Chain A
Amino acid sequence: MTFSGGAFERARRCLHGGCMSAAFFGRTMCISGKRAGRLAVGLLAVLVLLVVLGLPERALAHAALVKTDPVDGAVLAQGPSQFSLTFSEPVSPLVLTLVRPDGTSVALTSFRLSDQTVAIDNPQKLKSGTHVLSWRVISTDGHPVGGSVLFSIGAPSTPPVAAEPVDWDLRSAIWLGKVFLYIGLFLGVGGAFALAWLAESGRCGRRFVIAALLAGLVAAPVSLGLQGLDALGASLAGLAQPVVWRTAFGTSFGWTVLIGLMALGLALLSLAGPRIGAKTFALAGLAGVGAALTASGHASAAEPQWLTRPMVFLHGVGIAFWAGALAPLGLAVRWQSGEAGPFLRRFSRAILPVVAVLAAAGIVLAVIQVQTPAALVNTGYGRLLLVKLVLLLFLFTLATVNRWTLTAPAEAGATEVQRRLVRSIGAEVLIVLAIFAVAAGWRFTPPPRALAIAAAQPASVHIHTLKAMADLSITPGHAGPVIASMVIMTGDFGPLDAKQVTLVLSKPDSGIEPIKRPATKPGDGSWRVDDLVIPVPGRWTARLDILVSDFEMVKIEAPIDIRAE
């Protein structure tokens, strides 16, 4: 079906709110579009299900701290010449501070990056007492993460305060910015694409799409500034500082915003610019949405990169294609405009392969990020996903009602039922918005993948005495079944061919008797204990009984921190 001049006229009137009357011509167009509409609604429901199942790749924060030197809680004879922090993925430091026992702090500005390790120079001689190495870094996914390492010189003292209170104002602002950025990219750019390609420059929904684009154009730079604030640990009041913006541009989220702005601009151009270039601009904008999402986010940072980045791209483009078309489509059906018919037909033809790609990409990313079904319940990230599943349930119910009770009467021309169908599409748009809101919440919860990397890290301790020394690591370093591995040496780093090594773990304050296990020699020069279960987390005392000769036993011990998870 092609557009006649009448259809164009109708479409223009639609823009001015004048196409509500069911003129004969428009009516034929709209009726022919209804079957496609029903199909589309059903497809959309399926699509949303798949999107909900597959979405957990954006947001996602936090590289995990894997190893520190000195280790947290260490007691050292004298201050180290440098500190090092090793993360689960490459990071760049934002703020590194050493808080001294008297509570004063000094900024650590001299550091080097190698791979996933940050080596920080210690500029001064440390006095005795407990120090806090406070760090804030930004990972390749563009999200800042912070924490602190406590260590003591000589003997522990009362730790100086280095708390990181949550800035709820900033968090709310970041969340809101993210939601509006999604609205701009998915509903705005996606909507412009739908208008240019599926509605053949239709007018219904144009104002809505332009509003979404403008929202995105405002939200993108604001989000960037907020990202800078969050990265530096500054409050909303510091938004005007240049360093905040420089910091933000230095993160991968800077790229997301730049590409996102380009996509929004292209989409706007496709609507407001010359008709000739509309399709090209809209297509470039749609690709820009995918590229913007690929530039940052934890899914893009996840390994293997050759897989995750293209998947994020396809997923983002798919969401924009589908969610963007929803509002213009609903409005076209509502006003029974002439463009509704072909719009629905093109949409329903194109949506199937889009669903397939979108779903496949989503499932791949979900598997990489969530890893285990249990993580759905155990992690904040998984619980957000479950909330989305509930939203999906509503969406699915709506679609079912549309299909089985509204469709037939609507097809028969019942105006009231048609209105209900349109209202139903409107409700679906609202649910989609709610899903964006939930997805924006992922900005604050690390995905199970990152949590798993952190949880799998061993707890390690180096024990050094005059007679013997040992490197003990317990993997994973949390309560539960673990494997202990030990490398034994003499006090002066020479080889120590022990006849027997026994690991004794005790935690007197827990009321649990010492756990004593003989170690075996797997043949690589180390000793290990396999059948070990650590019942409770906390600070344990690890003792190694090393039988040096038949009649000589050396016992060395040190505290080791076992995490809860």
Chain B
Amino acid sequence: MNKYLLSAGALFIGTSAAFAHITLETQEAPVGSTYKAVLRVPHGCEGKATTAVRVQIPEGVISVKPMPNPGWTLQTKQGRYEKSYQLYGEAVTSGVKEVDWSGGSLPDEFYDEFVFRGTLAADLPAGETLYFPVVQECEGAAERWIEIPAAGQDEDALENPAPGLKLLPKK
């Protein structure tokens, strides 16, 4: 009996965890284009209010500009890219590597979106998926949406998958 209760409970928690994933609104985009990333935050961490959202910008996403959210402090971390990219005829070697929205409070029962925009470098491999690892911080807890599936691994098998963007061929 207890076992069934446990399994039922686990099933419930499992499902709610799936709903609670932080995901991108637009999950496909062609390389060499400007991409508007909308991070959807549907839940807090285990019922607690979200107080910070931090996203790591993967290599190949350049010229990132985040959108401020009212009530949140917006910060970026700059860094060098692994290589030089061409943007409107100019070489770009560094830029935003991480975006932090912090100091806010998003209760578990509310929904919010965190937005940034960037350019997908033209030489990114089309057909593959780019991952944006996100750390969701709450009061005394954290959820790390940072898992990237290994080659051949099913993304659904991950407990805390990083939001992914499928790269389409250049238009």
* Chains A and B come from one and the same complex: yes
Which residue numbers of A lie inside 8 Å of B, CB to CB?
A: 511-513, 547, 550-553, 555
Q: Which 9 A-B pairs have the closest CB atoms?
A: A551-B133, A551-B56, A513-B10, A551-B146, A553-B146, A511-B3, A550-B135, A553-B147, A513-B6
B54 at the interface (CB under 8 A from A): yes
The winner among A550, A551, A552, A555 for most chain B CB atoms within 10 A is A551
Pair B7/A552 contact, Cβ less than 8 Å: no
Q: Chain B: how many interface residues by the 8 Å CB criterion?
A: 12
Cα-based distance from A547 to B160 in the complex (angstroms): 13
With a cutoff of 8 Å between Cβ atoms, the chain A residues found around residue B160 in the complex are 553
With a cutoff of 8 Å between Cβ atoms, the chain A residues found around residue B40 in the complex are none
Select one of A511, A550, A551, A555 contacting B7, CB under 8 A.
A511
B144 at the interface (CB under 8 A from A): yes
Q: Separation in Å of the B121 CB from the closest CB of chain A?
A: 20
Pair A552/B6 contact, Cβ less than 8 Å: no
Q: Given that A511-B3, A511-B7, A513-B6 are known contacts, is A550 also in contact with B54, CB under 8 Å in the complex?
A: yes
The winner among A547, A550, A555 for most chain B CB atoms within 10 A is A550
Closest to B147 in A: A553
Q: 1/0 per position for B1-45, CB-CB distance to A under 8 A?
A: 001001100100000000000000000000000000000000000
Pair B146/A552 contact, Cβ less than 8 Å: yes
- Extra pairs beyond A550-B135, A551-B146 (17, CB < 8 Å): A511-B3, A511-B7, A512-B6, A513-B10, A547-B144, A550-B54, A550-B56, A551-B56, A551-B135, A551-B144, A552-B133, A552-B146, A553-B144, A553-B146, A553-B147, A553-B160, A555-B147
With a cutoff of 8 Å between Cβ atoms, the chain A residues found around residue B56 in the complex are 550-551
With a cutoff of 8 Å between Cβ atoms, the chain A residues found around residue B6 in the complex are 512-513
Cα-based distance from A493 to B135 in the complex (angstroms): 28
**17 CB-based A-B contacts, threshold 8 Å:** A511-B3, A511-B7, A512-B3, A513-B6, A513-B7, A547-B144, A550-B54, A550-B56, A550-B135, A551-B133, A551-B135, A552-B133, A552-B146, A553-B144, A553-B147, A553-B160, A555-B147
Closest to B144 in A: A553
Q: Separation in Å of the A379 CB from the closest CB of chain B?
A: 30
Q: Separation in Å of the B10 CB from the closest CB of chain A?
A: 4
Cα-based distance from A551 to B148 in the complex (angstroms): 10
Cα-based distance from A513 to B13 in the complex (angstroms): 11
Q: By DSSP majority rule, is chain A's interface helix, strand, loop, or mixed? A: strand
Cα-based distance from A513 to B10 in the complex (angstroms): 7
With a cutoff of 8 Å between Cβ atoms, the chain B residues found around residue A553 in the complex are 144, 146-147, 160
Q: 1/0 per position for B141-157, CB-CB distance to A under 8 A?
A: 00010110000000000
Cα-based distance from A552 to B10 in the complex (angstroms): 26
With a cutoff of 8 Å between Cβ atoms, the chain A residues found around residue B3 in the complex are 511-512
Q: Separation in Å of the A4 CB from the closest CB of chain B?
A: 84
With a cutoff of 8 Å between Cβ atoms, the chain A residues found around residue B147 in the complex are 553, 555
Q: Separation in Å of the B168 CB from the closest CB of chain A?
A: 25
Cα-based distance from A414 to B54 in the complex (angstroms): 103
Cα-based distance from A551 to B146 in the complex (angstroms): 6
- Interface residues in B122-149 by Cβ distance below 8 A to A read 133, 135, 144, 146-147
Cα-based distance from A348 to B51 in the complex (angstroms): 87
Cα-based distance from A141 to B132 in the complex (angstroms): 64
Q: Separation in Å of the A70 CB from the closest CB of chain B?
A: 26
Q: Separation in Å of the A548 CB from the closest CB of chain B?
A: 10
Q: Separation in Å of the B117 CB from the closest CB of chain A?
A: 20
With a cutoff of 8 Å between Cβ atoms, the chain A residues found around residue B133 in the complex are 551-552
Closest to A514 in B: B10
With a cutoff of 8 Å between Cβ atoms, the chain B residues found around residue A555 in the complex are 147
Closest to B4 in A: A511
With a cutoff of 8 Å between Cβ atoms, the chain B residues found around residue A550 in the complex are 54, 56, 135
Cα-based distance from A553 to B143 in the complex (angstroms): 12
Closest to A510 in B: B3
Cα-based distance from A6 to B7 in the complex (angstroms): 91
With a cutoff of 8 Å between Cβ atoms, the chain B residues found around residue A552 in the complex are 133, 146
Cα-based distance from A552 to B147 in the complex (angstroms): 8
Q: Separation in Å of the B41 CB from the closest CB of chain A?
A: 17
Closest to B6 in A: A513
Cα-based distance from A259 to B10 in the complex (angstroms): 67
Q: Separation in Å of the A364 CB from the closest CB of chain B?
A: 45
Closest to B56 in A: A551
Cα-based distance from A316 to B6 in the complex (angstroms): 57
Cα-based distance from A178 to B135 in the complex (angstroms): 71
With a cutoff of 8 Å between Cβ atoms, the chain A residues found around residue B54 in the complex are 550
Cα-based distance from A550 to B53 in the complex (angstroms): 12
Closest to B132 in A: A551
Cα-based distance from A547 to B10 in the complex (angstroms): 24
Cα-based distance from A553 to B135 in the complex (angstroms): 12
Cα-based distance from A10 to B9 in the complex (angstroms): 90
Q: Separation in Å of the A505 CB from the closest CB of chain B?
A: 14
Closest to A511 in B: B3
Closest to A550 in B: B135
Cα-based distance from A552 to B160 in the complex (angstroms): 12
Q: Separation in Å of the B131 CB from the closest CB of chain A?
A: 10
Q: Separation in Å of the A77 CB from the closest CB of chain B?
A: 19
With a cutoff of 8 Å between Cβ atoms, the chain B residues found around residue A513 in the complex are 6-7, 10
Closest to B145 in A: A551
Q: Separation in Å of the A556 CB from the closest CB of chain B?
A: 12
With a cutoff of 8 Å between Cβ atoms, the chain B residues found around residue A551 in the complex are 56, 133, 135, 144, 146
Cα-based distance from A511 to B6 in the complex (angstroms): 10
With a cutoff of 8 Å between Cβ atoms, the chain B residues found around residue A512 in the complex are 3, 6
Cα-based distance from A513 to B9 in the complex (angstroms): 10
Closest to B162 in A: A551
With a cutoff of 8 Å between Cβ atoms, the chain A residues found around residue B144 in the complex are 547, 551, 553
Closest to A553 in B: B146
Q: Separation in Å of the A512 CB from the closest CB of chain B?
A: 8
With a cutoff of 8 Å between Cβ atoms, the chain B residues found around residue A511 in the complex are 3, 7
